[in-house]
């Protein structure tokens, strides 16, 4: 009888085999590309967790790249799944993904379809959030990352390309060497058309892209970054002039970050150039919040953990803490306070929106700000006694909006964090992420424009919701809350 009940239960559950840990998956579809599949699931995950597809470089295996990139450790720390396609030597003697062959780079066939089937397998056997599926890889895996985003834009929200070339920079093995050498140059429209033509009837959004590349890469020339920027900015209908250039990114003089925004001023392409690095991923072994990975043949210690910043770009990191303070202020309002938890010996570096001034507290965990009339982010980075950097952690502050709508505080503090990059709302009780139920968004006339009765830790705001002030209702542990939020 017990066995019979187990069979019934398994028929309705996500799977009948142990879901946690590293495991090979031998049967995941027709597998026309003849690839191997490995999956990793942390011991305990919330429902609707993100999924990251991770692809190795030439001469590597899934196991080696998992260890060097640290993606499984990040999955444990920040609660998401990973899946690793692995090349078969019978397909390519150097164990490179065949990103340059028409039979493997087009939608619906070959290696690209095999990888798509791995995603479908994970969605069938685990509780995956279909709106938070991402892809990344190194070298041939990076090139295949561009293939997957172009071939299946409805599947992947974002991708992180570690030393790759644009989609369809080559369609033969001979042309692949020319592309890797940085000799394939096209106009933005030509590059963009290659992506658009892959799914000629597709009308949905395309993935956002982060590109990571060493400045002296002898295998995949740095010129490919320029061509990738052309391709993906054109797909997102924007130009190739960076809207934000950050030299010495996060205090690292080796790293320059460029951000390219679309017409709505939302980041759609980011590039990270690591000065003096060759053909590799950048890692930063250590125990700090933003450290990880291990060195190897294609993994270099650059004091910059590229997998972490890719996960940050994917917006799947658990925030270490939240900033406390007013999220809606009046134009020219003075004396507004913001703070984060105090850790003895740490110093805190704050930034505020244009036109605002930090009048006191810079260097400490609490500041006082005089605002101008420009909305933006209040951000802080913490450096502890051992030199570990955490952050930046940010909140969006709306300026010049005033309403008489009251907020109900409940018996404890529910905090709302709105990520404007991907229009997602996150919930915290105090400084810890929490789940809410009976969630609803109301406009200022009281009309309900969105609702959800299931438990959720984050909520993606539909593109149809226009910019403006809204009231959120949510329940945490039986306590009802109302909160104002500015959505842009």
pLDDT at 58: 98
Is 421's pLDDT higher than 80?
no
Report the C-alpha gap between 327 and 324 in whole angstroms.
9
Quick one: pLDDT at residue 11?
Answer: 38
Q: Which residue has the tokens 């933003």?
A: 290
Domains 16-314 and 320-401 belong to one CATH topology: no
Calculate mean pLDDT across residues 87-102.
96
**Could you tell me the pTM of the whole model?**
0.79
Of 71-80, 215-224, 381-390, 408-417, the one with minimum mean pLDDT is 408-417
Tokens 């006082």 correspond to 368
Better-scored residue on pLDDT, 285 or 481: 285
Are 297 and 398 contacting, i.e. CB atoms less than 8 angstroms apart? no
The larger pLDDT score, comparing residue 12 to residue 380, is at 380
Are the beta carbons of 320 and 308 closer than 8 angstroms? no
Total residue length of the chain: 488
Residue recorded with tokens 């329940």: 475
Which of the 8 DSSP states describes residue 168? T
d(CA 232, CA 235): 5
Domain boundaries, the chain: 16-314, 320-401, 403-488
Torsion of CA 269, 273, 274, 279, to 10 degrees: 90
User: Which residue of the set 139, 306, 307, 346 is catalytic?
Assistant: 139
Q: How far apart are CA 79 and CA 132, in angstroms?
A: 12
Residues 419-436: what's their mean pLDDT? 74
Q: Which of 305, 367, 294 is nearest to 334 (CA)?
A: 367
Asked whether residue 227 carries a pLDDT value surpassing 60, the answer given is yes
**Tens-digit pLDDT profile for residues 362-393:** 999 999 999 998 888 899 999 999 999 998 88
The whole-number pLDDT of residue 12 equals: 38
% of the chain at pLDDT higher than 90: 70
Cα–chain-centroid distance for residue 264? 19
Nearest alpha carbon to residue 28 among 89, 102, 85, 95: 85
pLDDT exceeds cutoff 60 at 87:
yes
CATH of 403-488, one of 1.25.40.420, 2.60.40.3080, 3.30.565.10, 3.40.50.300: 2.60.40.3080
Among 3.90.1300.10, 3.40.50.1220, 3.40.50.2000, 3.40.50.1820, name the CATH number for the domain at 16-314: 3.40.50.1820
Q: Is 139 among the residues known to form the active site?
A: yes
User: CA 28, CA 141: separation in Å to the nearest integer?
Assistant: 20
For the packed helices 306-314 and 71-78, what is the interaxial angle rounded to 10 degrees? 50
CATH pick for 320-401 out of 1.10.10.10, 2.60.40.10, 2.60.40.3670, 3.90.1300.10: 2.60.40.10
Quick one: what percent of the chain has pLDDT higher than 70?
Answer: 90
């Amino acid at each position: 009888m017990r066995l019979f009940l187990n069979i019934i239960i398994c028929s309705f559950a996500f799977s009948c085999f142990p879901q946690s840990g590293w495991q090979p998956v031998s049967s995941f579809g027709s597998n026309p590309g003849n690839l191997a599949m490995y999956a990793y699931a942390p011991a305990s995950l919330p429902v609707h967790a993100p999924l990251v597809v991770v692809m190795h470089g030439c001469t590597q295996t899934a196991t080696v790249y998992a260890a060097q990139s640290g993606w499984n450790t990040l999955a444990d720390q920040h609660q998401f799944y990973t899946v690793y396609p692995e090349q078969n030597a019978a397909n390519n003697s150097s164990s490179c993904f065949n990103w340059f062959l028409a039979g493997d780079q087009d939608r619906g066939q070959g290696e690209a379809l095999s990888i798509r089937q791995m995603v479908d397998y994970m969605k069938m056997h685990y509780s995956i959030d279909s709106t938070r599926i991402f892809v990344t890889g190194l070298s041939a895996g990076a090139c295949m990352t561009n293939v997957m985003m172009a071939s299946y834009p409805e599947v992947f929200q974002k991708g992180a390309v570690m030393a790759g070339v644009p989609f369809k920079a080559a369609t033969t093995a001979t042309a692949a060497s020319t592309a890797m050498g940085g000799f394939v140059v096209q106009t933005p429209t030509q590059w963009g058309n290659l992506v658009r033509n892959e799914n000629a009837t597709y009308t949905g959004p395309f993935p956002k892209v982060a590109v990571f590349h060493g400045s002296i890469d002898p295998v995949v020339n740095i010129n490919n970054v320029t061509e990738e920027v052309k391709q993906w900015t054109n797909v997102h209908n924007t130009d190739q002039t960076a809207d934000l250039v950050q030299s010495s990114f996060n205090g690292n003089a080796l790293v320059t970050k460029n951000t390219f925004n679309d017409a709505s001023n939302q980041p759609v392409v980011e590039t990270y150039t690591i000065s003096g690095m060759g053909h590799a991923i950048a890692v930063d072994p250590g125990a700090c919040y933003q450290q990880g990975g291990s060195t190897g043949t294609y993994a270099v210690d650059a004091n910059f953990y590229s997998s972490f910043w890719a996960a940050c770009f994917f917006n799947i990191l658990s925030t270490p803490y939240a900033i406390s303070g007013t999220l809606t202020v009046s134009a020219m309002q003075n004396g507004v306070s913001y703070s984060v938890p105090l850790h003895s010996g740490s110093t805190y570096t704050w930034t505020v929106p244009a036109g605002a001034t930090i009048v006191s507290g810079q260097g400490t965990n609490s500041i006082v700000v005089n605002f101008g009339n420009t909305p933006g982010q209040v951000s802080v980075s913490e450096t502890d006694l051992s030199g570990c950097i955490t952050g930046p952690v940010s909140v969006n502050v709306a300026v010049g909006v005033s309403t008489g709508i009251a907020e109900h505080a409940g018996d404890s503090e529910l905090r709302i964090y709105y990520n404007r990059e991907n229009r997602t709302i996150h919930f915290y009780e105090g400084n810890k992420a929490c789940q809410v139920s009976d969630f609803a968004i109301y406009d200022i006339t009281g009309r309900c424009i969105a609702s959800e009765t299931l438990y959720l830790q984050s909520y993606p705001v539909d593109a149809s919701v226009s910019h403006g002030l809204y009231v959120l209702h949510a329940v945490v542990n039986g306590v009802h809350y109302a909160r104002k939020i500015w959505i842009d």
